[in-house]
Amino acid sequence: MAQTPNLTTGPSLARTLTAPFAAIGRFLTAIAEARPLVQQFNRLNEMSDEDLAALGTTRGEMVQKIVGRQVHF
């Protein structure tokens, strides 16, 4: 009995051709999702320790609050 090569075991041509565009899309999504985080850190950096103390918090606590919202397991 003759056997023919099975060409469907490897990645499809369409998947190979679209992979770079999918990677770019994931990269742009990651940038868009990181933007609010960066803005929050910029606002925190603009505040003095005295400003934070007046709010009843510390810089470390604020960092934990900012990062804690972004970490998903």
The rounded percent of the chain whose pLDDT value lies above 70 is 79
* Its pTM surpasses 0.95: no
| pLDDT of 73 | 42
25-29, 38-42, 66-70: range with lowest mean pLDDT:
66-70
| pLDDT of 3 | 65
Is the pLDDT confidence value at 17 over 60?
A: yes
| pLDDT of 34 | 86
From the list 71, 73, 5, 3, the residue with the least C-alpha distance to 33 is 71
